[in-house]
Chains A and B, each alone.
Chain A
């Protein structure tokens, strides 16, 4: 987005333009990304392939234009992501000449940890949280960008933009560094790290609007299409491959569905929808009566569960 046109006063003197809320949020995110690139030795950007990651990637390209993004992107692959996500990831990495790292918890793969036999909590813990910690330890990143937003969940509303993690990757909500003005404290000791959330102050609507205005490409799963699904726990689950065990008498049916959030396909429910364009998605969203993370099964395990996961190192 280029800042709004400046208006001109009667005297012909150019008046100073005022900025819209998205322009201000964009500038804030770019400032944060540059601060990290300038202050840390070994930063990384978490890349989940979702719409927020698409926005983050776009912001990073802007932050370092005309240069290349000066840090790698890391995708933690649980091996249960939608196939279209992986195809999208690989194509985007090529198109933008990204330094893409993919990490999978090989120990979890050997033990065949999966969401069907082990449940969402254990699967997430092993294939996502533990895998993430493995990757951070392996590459010794001292800063990791995440696309979390404060409007998503209550514990996130209190997290800093620069969120300190101990050498064990733990978050201590009682002992966060005060964050003043745009003066971010980037200092860490060896082994410690900072999780950085440049789009903390964006809302879900802001994300969609920005994707629309900037014409940013997202995984097609966000748009409604006829897809094979089964009904589980009152939610539509995509039959993305033949690893999903069908119950006796269960037949995948073709439904017009889309996804409001993307993760592991067995843990991410589809919603019935006819929205095939961004404006239609926004329109559906404005009429929606459920919040975005509802489609994510992991948040509901227990009251305050996101806060617990975050303390243990989940993003």
Chain B
């Protein structure tokens, strides 16, 4: 580190010593889980209170709030320190993740305060994902009343285990309401150990507390002389979370390539696990190319070693192909490389999971399109039973096979949480819809193909992020149909929509080249086009058809092949005189000369639509204006 300011210069040796000591403190991130009534906010409020982190102005606001909406009959309601957002304060429940900070001489603490309410599993998983320890609150009075652990306690414990937290405190709260009863505490502790055995926590510490009265939170309780263990704060100050990640094999997901000038090429990123020193050999996980670490660069100077959590820039001994998304790894212990794996999913969004739908996946610094190819089970988070399911709703947990559009590098989550996790994103709204924890790669032998699920029109449309349509332009020759249709397609294409334009040019030469211009042939021509358009709509496309299509019946037939709302009839209503004056291909002149029999408008009728979705005044509107109207119709 940089040289501290000279204490003598500052005129105060004590404070300089204090600052030096502060620099030596560690950090613990923990999560508190409990229900609305377990006293969770009160507990955190108490920790902030007892560690003197409430200022006078906050205290004044707290006292006023306690009088206004407090639940402690005029006493200070510590919970009000935490409930930040207005709506929640009135409801009296915390509905999102809030982060709180306090410190002691030994550690700085970041507390994720998350709700215990059933609907908010997503928030708990969010808060727990960065926590090293969990404090699970149990209301002793409620357990006594209900005769056993509450479902939510089991739920919280399962979710804590799911996201890989190893250190659990069972804070048996409200001991003051049960007469500080040791037998009840033992009973609750035993029940919890029995229940949680399958979850495999390596460290469970049960502590009897009263958050409201302060028993065993910071000060040892005089009311429970039978309890010999640490207070809650003692435990949090000393629990050994010494980064197990640093002992794992080296993983370095590359965030960006630093190339300030031609002489320097470095790879910036955060060490996900393990450690690395100059001279160490590393391999690019995906390609297997190897090189040695040349330097570990930081602005404060090069390092001798970088460990898990360090944000550094690595330079290599030789030029190999590395870019964002690549993982540099220990060559002897490389991550899995696969495009299919089995994983736990926690669904976080109101829109349920659609197996087969494409979701962008982000893992480390890499991204890939992903789809759930098979939902193996939904986990009942109250009983831990696996149940059959077709989808996952918000706050549900499932076990699924996923297939990706490309290989990615990862480790099983149970072995390396930092490289075994991922999120899924909704392609249209960009909402984060799921959290994932990888179990293992699926081998080629047990390959589940990328498109193995039943794919229907809805699935294809979702994949294309658009609503399939058939936009049918009808009107006289020279009315401007094709010009407008062409602009519409170009505009849709620019917006990333998937389109296809069917017109006389690409149909008459192939699909319908055996047909002439008799009425019967005209009917058959339109039937074939309508069927082709139907297939394309089924494929998820926005199909634009531009044909004179003079007869109502055939246009009606085309409409009948589509679902309600899919067929959009656009009547380009341009007077014959205008069309004939334009005569872009000289057809009217030839028809008038008798060279083209059965020419619509001359010697063959045109039946104007009775109820088109859109009528374009082809004489008054420019093609651009008309195209704008059509686009509004399509995108409505």
Contact = CB atoms under 8 A, between A and B. Distances in A.
B11 A19 contact: no
A178 B122 contact: yes
A34 B311 contact: yes
Interface in B371-424: 417-418, 421-423
Contacts of A62: 298-300
Contacts of A19: 307, 309-310
Contact of A21 (B2, B25, B264, B418): B25
B56 A27 contact: no
A283 B12 contact: yes
B55 A290 contact: yes
A291 interface: yes
B216 interface: no
A185 B5 contact: no
Contacts of B123: 178
A66 B270 CA distance: 16
B86 A304 contact: yes
A307 B270 contact: no
Contact of A182 (B84, B85, B270, B306): B270
B440 interface: no
A27 B310 contact: yes
A66 B27 CA distance: 29
Interface residues of B, number: 92
Given A6-B304, A181-B421, A278-B5, A20 B99 contact: no
B608 interface: no
B275 interface: yes
B85 A158 contact: yes
Contacts of A278: 5, 10
Contact of B22 (A1, A205, A289): A205
A1 B86 contact: no
Interface in B267-296: 268-270, 275
Interface residues on A, range: 35 or more
Contacts of B337: none
Interface in A25-70: 25-28, 30-31, 34-35, 37-38, 61-68
Interface string B103-115: 1000110100000
A31 B311 contact: yes
A288 interface: yes
Interface in B532-551: none
A154 interface: yes
Interface string A147-169: 00011001101100000000000
Interface string B240-265: 00110011000000011011100010
Interface stretch (A112-120, A211-219, A237-245): A211-219
Chain B facing A: main interface SS: mixed
A14 B305 contact: yes
Contact of B26 (A18, A178, A283): A18
Q: Which of B2, B417, B418, B422 has the most CB of A within 10 A?
A: B2
Contacts of A203: 101, 103, 108
A34 B255 contact: yes
Contact of A280 (B10, B129, B297): B10
A179 interface: yes
Interface stretch (B359-367, B481-489, B576-584, B586-594): B359-367
A22 interface: yes
A181 B256 CA distance: 19
A304 B98 CA distance: 16
A5 to B, nearest CB: 9
B233 to A, nearest CB: 17
Nearest to B26: A21
Nearest to A37: B256
B97 A201 contact: no
B85 A1 contact: no
Interface string A249-287: 000000000000000000000000000011110110010
Interface in A1-16: 1-4, 6, 14, 16
B130 interface: yes
Given A3-B306, A22-B23, 13 more contacts: A2-B2, A6-B304, A21-B25, A25-B27, A31-B255, A34-B269, A38-B324, A64-B258, A158-B84, A176-B96, A181-B418, A201-B110, A213-B19
Interface of B: 1-2, 4-5, 7, 9-12, 15-16, 18-19, 22-27, 55-58, 82-87, 95-101, 103, 107-108, 110, 122-123, 125-126, 129-130, 242-243, 246-247, 255-256, 258-260, 264, 266, 268-270, 275, 297-301, 303-307, 309-311, 313, 324, 348, 360, 362-365, 417-418, 421-423, 425, 430-432, 435
23 contacts: A3-B310, A17-B307, A20-B23, A20-B26, A21-B26, A22-B23, A35-B255, A35-B365, A38-B365, A64-B258, A66-B260, A154-B98, A158-B85, A180-B129, A200-B99, A201-B101, A203-B103, A206-B108, A212-B5, A213-B1, A277-B5, A277-B11, A289-B56
Interface of A: 1-4, 6, 14, 16-28, 30-31, 34-35, 37-38, 61-68, 150-151, 154-155, 157-158, 173-174, 176-183, 185, 187-189, 192, 200-201, 203, 205-206, 209, 212-215, 277-280, 282-283, 286, 288-291, 294, 303-304, 307
